[in-house]
Amino acid sequence: MTESISRRPGRPLGGQLVVDREHVLDAAERVIRREGANASLEAVAVEAGVTKPIVYDRVGGRADLADALAERLADRIVLATRTAIAGETLSQTGLTRFIEANLLTVADHRELFLYVTGGSTEQTALGRLSLAGMSTQPLAKTLAVWRSGIQQDPGVAEAWAFGIVGMLQMVSQWWITQEGLSAAEVAGQISELLWNGLPGRS
């Protein structure tokens, strides 16, 4: 009769757990979803089934982990917002859909968003910049095409995209703490500001 060997999932017969960067990041997402934005590297290590030095070796410290997770979150935001404005020139309706898609993605990954944009002052600034930088691509492209189509300088597209996405990060941080305001309502309010300006159209 063959003796069964009890071992943890993913642990080979030699007893050495083989992990890669994605394994640690997956574990970090589970911990953050469960414990919130204050999840520790120690908790991530336990979830991944490794020691804390392994977490440092595969990913780095908290700022590095936040940056890596910001990339994951940005990929999800880009997918959602690209779908929202796919194949159309810029319009207020499209801008509203873009903003709503951004807000809904943040809401779906609330704790991850707070982890990425939280921490020390330096980490907060870097996390927000990293997330914004990776989230602006579809909007910048749409803005450039739209500006060219109306014979206006498309060179402003990147700065405008950063401005809009940066604002949306702050709006998202505010909105996820509120009750009674839907993503559609907030998206409509912000698109009204962006599209018509502070005084509104005459």
Write down the pTM of the prediction.
Answer: 0.79
Quick check: 13 pLDDT over 50?
no
Sign of dihedral through CA atoms 23, 24, 27, 32?
negative
Most confident of 3-17, 43-57, 84-98: 43-57
pLDDT value for 16: 56
Contact between 135 and 78 (Cβ < 8 Å): yes
Query: What distance in Å separates the CA atoms of residue 22 and residue 71, rounded to the nearest whole number?
Result: 12
Burial class (CB in 10 A: 0-12, 13-18, 19+), 195: middle
List where CATH 1.10.357.10 sits in the chain.
Answer: 63-196
92-142: per-residue pLDDT in tens? 898 899 899 999 999 999 999 988 887 554 555 665 666 777 778 778 888
List where CATH 1.10.10.60 sits in the chain.
Answer: 11-60
Query: Under CATH, which number does the domain 11-60 receive?
Result: 1.10.10.60
> Between these two residues, 6 and 193, which has the higher pLDDT value?
193
168-180: per-residue pLDDT in tens? 988 998 999 888 8
The CATH superfamily of 63-196 is Tetracycline Repressor, domain 2 (1.10.357.10)
pLDDT value for 7: 39
34-78: per-residue pLDDT in tens? 999 889 999 999 999 999 999 999 999 888 898 889 889 988 988
CA-to-CA dists, residue 158 to 13, 24, 137, 165, 187, angstroms:
52, 33, 8, 10, 21
